[in-house]
Amino acid sequence: MRYNTYENYTKITAISDFNLKKTFECGQCFRWNVDENGVYTGVAFGKAAKIWTEGTSICISGREDDFLSYWRDYFDLDRDYSAIRESLCVDNYMRKATTFGAGIRILRQNKWEALCSFIISQCNNIPRIKGIVEALCREFGEPIEFDGKIYYSFPGSDTIAKLTPEQLAPIRSGFRASYIVGAAKAIEEGYLDMDALAEGSYESALKALKKLKGVGDKVANCVILFGLNMLNAFPVDVWMKRTISEHYDKSFTPDVFGEYAGIAQQYMFYYARSGQEEIGA
């Protein structure tokens, strides 16, 4: 990966496996939106930015220090996803899935934001998840002025922990409201240390997260993969259950993919959810 910095943006060159649409629309994040020109605008870690494709390069708005302090790590730009894709081609199905999903990168998201967002994701579709998350930010986050508009940061667990589930009514999260507040309180009261979990084992993180009301295997694994950045986590939802049953026998375990099982999961999920299997891709 190489980059050049200009007055108001950074251009990333000589990078493979970085497709904006696939990365932002594979179900791992909920705060990036695209305009008619293919430019994505989003907020992460209290920073707003625009990101777009220019030929074979990727451009990110902002100064060089923003790129080095936030976006380089957030987009996992120093990891060789091409080599990982090659290592995941363990059978014919995965060759198809990795080819179709080439360009997906696993974002290194804020731990609390990932936990809260995937609690919201339960029994929900992506447009509604995004709507609830944006309402949460608008109601309880801090305003960010960017490119002539006002965006909002993701509210911290300290802010949400002070609320009652009833006070979350404006975001229309339904039964999830009590889970959101409960998770925030667990962090603020010291029962859940997300930073410590990120430094520990997958097994200990899974056990700790599942102690939270409203967090089961699927949500916990999403948080571990997208928030704690443990790339061996393998979330399983209805799409993945169907995919596994159709392409693997009952002896299947994610261990076949080794330390990058979570990246394999994203290729499989994106491939299945796209409907490509049904049209013979």
pLDDT in tens, 177-223: 999 999 999 999 999 999 999 999 999 999 999 999 999 999 999 99
Split at pLDDT 50, 70, 90, the class of 273 is confident
With 70 as the cut, is the pLDDT of residue 270 above it? yes
Q: Which helix (H) or strand (E) holds 40?
A: strand 40-44
pLDDT digits (tens, 9 = 90+) for 150-186: 999 999 999 999 999 999 999 999 999 999 999 999 9
Residue 216: left if φ>0, alpha if ψ -120 to 50, beta else—which one? beta
> Could you give the CA distance from residue 6 to residue 67 in angstroms, rounded to a whole number?
11
Mean pLDDT of the chain, nearest integer: 95
What is the token pair recorded at 228?
């704690």
Question: CA separation (Å) from 225 to 79, 110, 248?
Answer: 15, 12, 22
With 50 as the cut, is the pLDDT of residue 234 above it? yes
Split at pLDDT 50, 70, 90, the class of 110 is very high
Q: Which of 130, 213, 218, 250 is catalytic?
A: 218
Q: How do strand 9-13 and strand 32-34 relate by DSSP bridges?
A: unpaired
Q: How do strand 57-61 and strand 47-54 relate by DSSP bridges?
A: antiparallel
With 50 as the cut, is the pLDDT of residue 281 above it? no
What is the token pair recorded at 175?
């039964």
Residue 236: left if φ>0, alpha if ψ -120 to 50, beta else—which one? beta
pLDDT digits (tens, 9 = 90+) for 79-102: 999 999 999 999 999 999 999 999
What is the pLDDT at residue 279? Answer: 31
What domains lie within the chain, and their CATH numbers? Answer: 2-78 (3.30.310.260), 111-226 (1.10.340.30)
With 60 as the cut, is the pLDDT of residue 139 above it? yes
Known catalytic residue: 149? Answer: no
